[in-house]
Amino acid sequence: MQLSCAVLLIAGSLAVAPVWAQAAAVAPATLSSIRVSGEARVSARPDRVQIDLGVQTQAQLSQDAASANARQLDAVLAAVRKAAGPGAQVKTISYSLSPNYQYHSSGGEPTITGYTALNVVEVTLDDLARIGDVIDAATRAGANRVQGIQWTLRDQDAVRAEALREAATRARTEAEVLAGALNLRILRVLTVEESSPQIVPVRPRLGVARASASAAEVPTPVEAGTLDVSANVTLTVEVGPAAH
């Protein structure tokens, strides 16, 4: 019985040994890699503008405030479409009708003193030379709020692609510099990660502009400036010993 037990133990050892050898043979080798990021910023001249124009009216009764707002806005829209030309797009982006309250120093419920109606429209122009004319025409017709101006691009994809190409090129250059400094060479690209290019719009805040007859006599100057489009690309590359 003792002899047979010894034989079984040896046989068991021989059976397990090939499994260990096979596991060692298929174990993946550790890759040597470098991870770098490249960032690029591309400036472009805007070729589209969005102008937010509003009409605000007040009255003691809500229906009077709403009616006065509708009449005033109709005049503004007619003037804007004439000044902007056939290629312009006009749409309403917000409308509100809210009560005005008077608060008492002694406390208690506030008193409603009237109502305010506000209607804001967005005008989209591709003819940038008409911006000042549109603002002036709107304020002369009754627009008493200029919410702001936002510059954009009609074809954003082309600028985004340029920013991505520059970011990828810079990342590859960084990887090559690091590899060369370490006496290594790039064997292949393992992973590529990109942050979606971001367009930083030029949006000068004009605040609340209340038109006056004297102010409308002087054309409104508006400068477009530039748009900045940024992108970030991260590369992970496999490296090996430099060839001699």
Burial 54-68 (b: 16+ CB within 10 A, else e): bbbbebeebeebbeb
> Is residue 163 scored above 50 in pLDDT?
yes
SS3 helix, strand, coil % of the chain, rounded to 5?
35, 40, 25
Nearest to 67 by CA among 30, 117, 32: 117
The larger pLDDT score, comparing residue 63 to residue 2, is at 63
**Which region among 56-65, 92-101, 126-135, 219-228 has the lowest average model confidence (pLDDT)?**
219-228
The encoded tokens of residue 29 equal: 């080798």
pLDDT for 90 equals 94
CA–CA separation, 141 and 53 (whole Å): 12
Under the banding of pLDDT at 50, 70 and 90, the label for residue 244 is low
CA 194 to chain centre: 15
Q: What is the pLDDT of residues 114-158, one digit of tens each?
A: 999 999 999 999 999 899 999 999 999 999 999 888 888 888 889
What's the rounded mean pLDDT across residues 54-72? 97
Top CATH class of 48-152 equals alpha beta
pTM value? 0.66
Mean pLDDT of the chain: 82
- Cβ neighbors of 200 (< 8 A, separation 6 or more) are 227, 228, 229, 230
* Residue appearing with tokens 């690209």: 189
Residue 9 has a pLDDT of 31
Confidence category of residue 218, pLDDT binned at 50, 70, 90: low
Task: Tell me the per-residue pLDDT of 166-217, one tens digit each, with 9 for 90 and over.
Answer: 999 999 999 999 999 999 999 999 999 998 777 766 555 443 344 444 444 6
Q: What percent of the chain has pLDDT over 90?
A: 59
What average pLDDT does range 214-226 have in this prediction?
66
Q: How far is CA 225 from CA 40, 45, 134, 189, 219, in A?
A: 19, 7, 19, 39, 19
Q: Which helix (H) or strand (E) holds 66?
A: helix 62-84
220: confidence class by pLDDT, cuts 50, 70, 90: confident
- 22-56 residue pLDDT tens: 444 444 557 799 999 999 999 888 999 999 999 99
Nearest Cα to Cα of residue 61 among 100, 96, 94: 100
